[in-house]
Amino acid sequence: MKRLINQCPGPVSTAALALLPFVVLVLVYLLASDARLAENPNDKLLPSFTTLAESFVRLTSVPSQRTGEILLWQDTGASLRRLAQGVGISAAIGLVLGIVLGAIPLIRSGFAPFVAVLSLIPPMAVLPVLFIVFGLGEVSKVVLIVVGITPFIVRDLQQRVQELPRELIIKAQTLGANSWQIILRVILPQILPRLIDAVRLSLGTAWLFLISAEAIAATEGLGYRIFLVRRYLAMDVILPYVVWITILAYLTDFLLKQISRRVFPWYHTGGPGR
């Protein structure tokens, strides 16, 4: 008999096994929700799927009484804008600093330990300071994301630059390239797909900081809405929002992966690429 560790499911059972936990989760939710609703029809903790669906339709199609905007789209727009700004700035800083720290030993000796220490500061701990320095507006929310993920991207890219085959750098030098040309023509193209990897890995953290910042002070946004309606236990709003955020996060990740595949096909032909 085949050992357990050598038994592989076929394509159909792979799909079935992947779906199974989701189906079980939905079933358990359904049972628990029915049990609570049977006892108290107004229970808000585990709303029925009908309520969730109605609420989702309302959130995506009916303009709000107070602002005249459709809430889910308004919140999604606001949150994605902040996320894009925060992640964009972090990626730009990360790319420049990562290459500089990785490629130039003089600068690395001076700043790499500093960046390493900075990356250890928990961003949530300095949140009150960020609010005082940058105010309660859009800036502090973007800054929180930048503070939260930039050190990781910088350190990751620095590491990737240092891991580049030494032969490549030496060969470029024997061909007469100066430092600037090596950075621009050898290191940069090699590092760009790795930047996309680093961004993909930090997206989860970026979402975390985005939602945290929106929970503290905001007028719109996905995190804002969740923490607002938490006040009256509106799980019929919170649960669809959580699902929507998960979908958005999955889609951004998927999109970045596809961009990387299209633009840097060489990176994905075996080797370290993903």
Alpha helices in 40-70 (DSSP H): 49-61
Using only the alpha carbons of the chain, give its radius of gyration: 24
Smallest distance, Å, CB 163 to another protein? 23
Instruction: Round to whole Å and give the CA distance between 76 and 113.
Output: 38
What string marks each residue from 54 to 83 as x (binds another protein by CB under 8 A) or -?
A: xx--x------xx-----------------
* Strand, helix or coil for residue 15: helix
The span of 115-123, 142-150, 225-233, 254-262 binding another protein (CB under 8 A) equals 225-233
Q: Which is closer to another protein, CB of 113 or CB of 137?
A: 137
Q: Which is closer to another protein, CB of 19 or CB of 96?
A: 19
> How many Cβ atoms from other residues are within 10 Å of residue 183's Cβ?
18
Instruction: Round to whole Å and give the CA distance between 19 and 15.
Output: 6
Smallest distance, Å, CB 244 to another protein? 18
Token pair 């032909």 in the structure block, residue: 269
**Options 84, 100, 126, 136; binder of another protein; rule CB under 8 A:** 136
Instruction: Round to whole Å and give the CA distance between 208 and 223.
Output: 9
**Options 152, 227, 244, 264; binder of another protein; rule CB under 8 A:** 227
Token pair 């500093």 in the structure block, residue: 114
Q: Which is closer to another protein, CB of 165 or CB of 271?
A: 271
Taking Cα atoms as reference points, which of 96, 236, 104, 89 lies closest to residue 182? Answer: 104
Smallest distance, Å, CB 156 to another protein? 21
Contact indicator for 52, 239 with CB cutoff of 8 Å: yes
Q: Which is closer to another protein, CB of 13 or CB of 181?
A: 13
Instruction: Round to whole Å and give the CA distance between 55 and 51.
Output: 6
**Options 178, 179, 181, 219; binder of another protein; rule CB under 8 A:** 219
**Options 93, 169, 177, 215; binder of another protein; rule CB under 8 A:** 215
Site for another protein in 10-39 (CB under 8 A): 14-15, 17-18, 21-22, 24-25, 28-29, 31-32, 35-36, 39
Amino acid letter at 159?
A: Q
Q: Which is closer to another protein, CB of 39 or CB of 167?
A: 39
Smallest distance, Å, CB 30 to another protein? 10
Is residue 6 a contact residue for another protein (CB under 8 A)?
yes
Token pair 């891991």 in the structure block, residue: 163
Contact indicator for 162, 187 with CB cutoff of 8 Å: no
Longest distance between any two alpha carbons in the chain, whole Å: 80
**Options 40, 50, 174, 269; binder of another protein; rule CB under 8 A:** 40
CA dihedral 93, 95, 96, 98 (to 10 degrees): 100
- Residues that bind another protein in the complex, under the rule CB under 8 A: 5-6, 8-9, 14-15, 17-18, 21-22, 24-25, 28-29, 31-32, 35-36, 39-46, 54-55, 58, 65-66, 127-128, 131-133, 135-137, 215-219, 224, 227-228, 230-234, 236
